[in-house]
Structure 1
Amino acid sequence: MDSPHSDVTGAAIRAEGFGLKGPRGWAFRGISFDADPGSLVAVTGPSGSGRTCLLLALTGRMKPTEGRARVGEHELPRKMAAVRRLSALGQVPGVSELDPALTVAEHLRERVMLQRRYDGSVRALLRSPAQRRAEARALIEQSLASAGLDLASLPKRDRTPVRDLERLEALRLTVALALIQRPRLLAVDDTDMKLSDAERSAAWALLRSMADTGTTVLAVCSEAPAEADTTVTTTETGADDGATSEEGAGDAFATTGSA
């Protein structure tokens, strides 16, 4: 079965002197790098150095303060809405978290309904309910297969609550949910947090496979893997008032709209 993103052309990323300042200080600044379409980009740096803010800025969810960036054909910050449309978020704590009370199936159905609502063509709306259900099932199956999440291995299959998932399983689910949007850019935060060595290897193998099939992947991590094509390192910026850089830019995210 083909991957739901196998026909996707990844979005190239280019940043020059890119920076973001919130009310309490700089989240990050001076970021410059180039990444080709279908690249795996690792974002590293100490905790509080603006890694998450950089991820959100490059996906059009936070408005940068200085410098320039281009994602695909779109300039930031001028085309933030367009960048949001071509990108999707995997796990990003506080932004795109899974609901622990919902089941895997409920999360998948909800994402398909949202995708249909915001991205459905007139032709799709004219299809019969049976056709739409069949297409939704196929999209879910393809996304799960690409993310490597085997429902048969879960305690209650697709009725398993998110709170009962292992961390790697939860990561795979967030990737599957993102793939339903057929993104050109996939962004994942805390990629390797609290994973064993074997789980970390599996997580990077998953993201490498996403890049190899066309989707550009932007992944925040504690240590860049050998699989990465590009590594971007953020540094402490000395945010004011003793706040971390992510806290300092929190209000900036609130002004950009939905994740």
Structure 2
Amino acid sequence: MDDPSGLAVVADGLGLKGPRGWAFRDVSADAGPGALIAVAGPSGTGRTCLLLALTGRMKPTEGRAVVGGLELPRRMAAVRRRSALAHVAGVTDLDPALTVAEHLREQELLRRRFGDALPRPRQLLRPRAERRRERRRHIDEALATAGLGLGALPKGGRTAVRDLERVEALRLSLALALLGRPRLVGVDDADLKLSAAEREEVWELLRSVAGTGVTVLAVCSEPPSDAVVVRTDADRSGGAEADGPAAPTGVEPDDSSTGVEPGDSPAGAGTETGAPAADPARTDDGPDAAPDQTGETPGAGTADKAEATGAAEAADRADDDEKEAADDAIATTGRS
């Protein structure tokens, strides 16, 4: 492949809020061109949303981000043109009925039609056979960078996607992304459902892609030691505090994130979403522990129950918010 200059990624206090709360918040990053960046954190903490935001597919709500010198969200379209996505569920899904060669041919046709700049008149005058050889070379380079050898597949290029192993499917998705010669490539769920050996194989692959000069942004659960790590769960320890008094000017505090309805007692309202669930032995105080509707402060057992309920509801909302935000991005962008 060509040796493009990767995009530097800088973020400070970046956050994205959906209709039901924050997908992620207070995320910072500082990585140079050609870096391997690992977006790490538990499922439901906005990892995919951050990936889509830094590649220009979702609009951040607060904070500052600059990708390749392009400020987000003002230059989102320019960042999209310089980046590509791989292995993102609902966005870059492979068709299990199509073969590897059919996917490559389809993506190359789409790139020629929509991805490249207008060809120069001299290029249009070249013999068709020469143009065909150039397209074949372009595909071969993308496959080599992604480490996918057609000769190693059961039926070569005629192998159906449904017959690919998990790592082979990831390599194919990455090759399709590299056909557009991006300067930044985002890979979702890089280590999902992989063994330790397969995870190391994937990280070695992503290191080699970064070695070509392309910046790699990979979502994962366990980041490698040599990656620039960006975490999406750093603000989850405070929960209610992060969405309450600390909210920046112009952003309304999100009471729903605490898991406590308006009018609850002070003991329930002070619950932190990141706190661990209370011991059931402590929360079972019998019928006398029911909330006092007269306005009196409930007992300790009621406060523990409210804490456990708020933490569980906040965790459920975090999963729902990330899925909802990803669905919005899919509806906007279609297949990348």
TM-score normalised to structure 1 length? 0.93
Q: Pairwise mapping of residues 79-94 of structure 1 onto structure 2 (< 5 A)?
A: 79-94=75-90
Q: Which residue of 2 aligns with 1:43?
A: 39
Q: Which residue of 2 aligns with 1:188?
A: 187
Identify if the C-alpha distance between structure 1 residues 214 and 11 changes in structure 2 by more than 3 Å, giving closer, same or farther: same
Q: Deviations over 1:13-59 (max 9, x none)?
A: 00011111111111101011100001000011011000000000000
Structure 1 range deviating more: 178-187 or 122-131:
122-131
- The structure, 1 or 2, with the larger RCO (C-alpha pairs under 8 Å, 6+ apart) is 1
Q: Which residue of 1 aligns with 2:220?
A: 221
Q: Work out whether 1:99 is the aligned partner of 2:95.
A: yes
Structure 1 range deviating more: 11-20 or 195-204:
195-204
Q: SS where residue 141 of structure 2 aligns?
A: helix
Q: Which residue of 2 aligns with 1:127?
A: 126
Match of 1:56 among 41, 52, 56: 52
Q: SS where residue 44 of structure 2 aligns?
A: coil
Q: SS where residue 48 of structure 2 aligns?
A: helix
Counterpart-to-counterpart distance in 2, 1:93 and 1:252: 13
Counterpart-to-counterpart distance in 2, 1:249 and 1:49: 12
1:22–1:250 CA contact under 8 A, matched in 2: no
* Structure 1: unaligned runs, 5 residues or longer: none
Match of 2:329 among 247, 250, 253: 253
1:85 Cα deviation from its structure 2 partner:
0.5
The one-letter code sitting in structure 1 at the alignment partner of 2:230 is: V
Percentage of identical aligned residues: 62
1:125 Cα deviation from its structure 2 partner:
4.0
Q: Deviations over 1:126-172 (max 9, x none)?
A: 43322221111001111111111111111110000101000010111
2:15–2:24 CA contact under 8 A, matched in 1: yes
Q: Pairwise mapping of residues 225-236 of structure 1 onto structure 2 (< 5 A)?
A: 225-228=224-227, 230-235=228-233, 236=236
Q: Work out whether 1:114 is the aligned partner of 2:110.
A: yes
Q: Which residue of 1 aligns with 2:8?
A: 12
The one-letter code sitting in structure 1 at the alignment partner of 2:53 is: A
Counterpart-to-counterpart distance in 2, 1:68 and 1:256: 22
1:191–1:220 CA contact under 8 A, matched in 2: yes
Match of 2:68 among 55, 72, 76: 72
1:120 Cα deviation from its structure 2 partner:
4.1
2:150–2:157 CA contact under 8 A, matched in 1: yes
Q: SS where residue 58 of structure 2 aligns?
A: coil
1:257 Cα deviation from its structure 2 partner:
3.2
Counterpart-to-counterpart distance in 1, 2:118 and 2:324: 40
Counterpart-to-counterpart distance in 2, 1:65 and 1:126: 48
* Structure 2: unaligned runs, 5 residues or longer: 241-255, 258-312
Number of equivalent positions: 254
1:212 Cα deviation from its structure 2 partner:
1.4
Counterpart-to-counterpart distance in 2, 1:32 and 1:219: 15
Identify if the C-alpha distance between structure 1 residues 213 and 250 changes in structure 2 by more than 3 Å, giving closer, same or farther: closer
1:252 Cα deviation from its structure 2 partner:
4.2
The one-letter code sitting in structure 1 at the alignment partner of 2:158 is: R
Q: Which residue of 1 aligns with 2:177?
A: 178
Identify if the C-alpha distance between structure 1 residues 254 and 172 changes in structure 2 by more than 3 Å, giving closer, same or farther: closer
Q: Which has the larger radius of gyration?
A: 2
The one-letter code sitting in structure 2 at the alignment partner of 1:44 is: A
